[in-house]
Structure 1
Amino acid sequence: MQGLLVEEVSVEINREQILKDISFHLKPGTITALVGHNGAGKSTIMKTLIGLQERKTGNILLNGISQEEDFLPYKKMISYIPEEPFLLPELTAMQHFQLYGRSYQIDEQELLRKVDYLSGKMEITDKLDEFPESLSKGMRQKVQTICALLPDVPLLLIDEPFMGLDIYASEFLAEAMKDKAGQETAILLTSHQLDRVQQLADHFIMLQHGKVADHGKIKDFHVLKRRFSE
């Protein structure tokens, strides 16, 4: 099956069940909002999908590739923007981009073209030779975002995409997400900016206490919000 298939995934941390039989399917070319209150399990799902959090039960497949049985091929099909930028202190911004280029086997000329375009749009062209410690948090988030946008992969995971970004970078990221979806990338994002999410996403998955409480098309989400607030 094409896209991301999550089947009956459960996660325990310190004997506490955080995710309970989570199942959903993300089709190629769609943007899905993962929503829920703090502690609902959104970040745990993200960490589980990229392999940072071990699951107790269930299967995860991306374009038919099993996370458990073929982890490296699976991992190379995923790109991720974390809520907090995670950059290596010994590498400049440009060296981060080069590292991603090698990791995803991006042609060198294509990588340079993408870096030139994305750094221009994110307004960090003059920061390419800077190390993370000399960059503001917003600039570090821009570097992290560019890293995730460089590869063309089937799945893009984004945790609070607009945190730390200025208005121009936020607008560009929104357009970049639409472009990625237009290239058949499936996108899963979390955000507390629900108005913006509703403008971007096609579908939603609502988490409550570690379970999928509801899911559907984003046009139905405003009705759900009222029901959950009662």
Structure 2
Amino acid sequence: MSVLTATDLVVKQGETLALDGLTLAVNQGEVVALIGHNGAGKSTFFKTVMGLIEPRGGILALAGETPPSVLYKQQVVYIPEQPFLLPELTVFQHFQLYLESYNQYKDEKVNEIYDLANRFEIAGELDQFPLELSKGMKQKAQLIAGLIIDAPLLLIDEPFVGLDVYAQQELTTVLKEKKQAGQAIILTTHQFDQLSGIMDRYIMLHQGKLIKEGNQQDLGELKRRFD
């Protein structure tokens, strides 16, 4: 069953066609890698799906909702490449804020926070403020903030960059669990080795157009092409 469908999506950035008639669908429990060089349209697509950019044309639907409704925005959660943490909130308060914004703050979610904090080795930092954290700890905090949300679609931008080897392995395991639970996941990455075992297919963009799709068997070719 399709969670996200985009049909003939057109987005302009100034005079540039950032998305040029893009059509694609992502299914429940599917992990899709969004591939492309800088300027291909990946970030624009993410921002459009999140409702931050209004398309000039086409149709966008997510779990039965259409933008720009609040219900639509609650169907998607985004984990950015660069952590965005508020200096006045502790790590744990960031998790509370995320849960409250999705109306998901409840006891079982607090248990999930502690579970993920232990798995990503950040349990000792929950009462710390962002300025007291290392870059790696900030990234783990941002990851957990997105991973605790139950939304039909998860968008992740370069999730493995900056993580230690153990955290990369743990993230792979968590994404497999999310996939098993039926969450649709779209991620961007240039670390193609990390996609083995979790990716169902990839979508390659170029100048806002879908130019190629493939599966795990093509990972070697992708790595050579983007190295």
Indicate how the Cα distance of structure 1 residues 147 and 225 shifts in structure 2: closer, same or farther if over 3 A, else same: closer
Superposition RMSD in Å: 1.8
Structure 1, gaps ≥5 residues long: none
Deviation at 1:104, TM superposition (A): 2.1
Structure 1 partner of 2:154: 156
Aligned residue number for residue 205 of structure 1: 203
1:24 corresponds in structure 2 to 24
Task: Say if 1:7 and 1:58, in contact at 8 Å, map to a contact too.
Answer: yes
Q: Structure 1 CA distance, aligned partners of 2:146 and 2:155?
A: 9
The residue that corresponds to 2:59 in the other structure is 59
1:133, distance to aligned residue in structure 2 (A): 1.4
Assess, with a 3 A threshold, how the Cα gap between structure 1 residues 225 and 125 changes in structure 2: closer, same or farther.
Answer: closer
Match of 1:146 in 2: 144
Say whether the 8 Å CA contact 2:79–2:157 is kept in structure 1.
Answer: yes
Question: In structure 2, the residue corresponding to 1:40 is in which secondary structure?
Answer: coil
Q: Which amino acid aligns with 1:47?
A: K
Residue in 1 that maps onto 2:119: 121
Which residue does 2:6 correspond to in 1? 6
Change (3 A) 1:214 1:98: same
Q: Find 2:181's aligned residue among 171, 177, 183.
A: 183
SS at match of 1:3: strand
Q: Secondary structure at the match of 2:160?
A: coil
The letter of the residue matching 1:17 is L
Aligned equivalent of 2:130, options 102, 117, 132 = 132
Aligned residues between the structures = 226
Q: Percent of counterpart pairs with the same letter?
A: 44
Distance in structure 1 (CA, Å) of the matches to 2:123 and 2:222: 43
TM-score by length of 1: 0.92
1:165-189 per-residue CA deviation (whole Å, 9 max, x = no partner) reads 1111111111111100101101000
- State the 1:43 CA deviation: 1.4
Could you tell me how far 1:222 is from its partner in structure 2?
A: 4.3
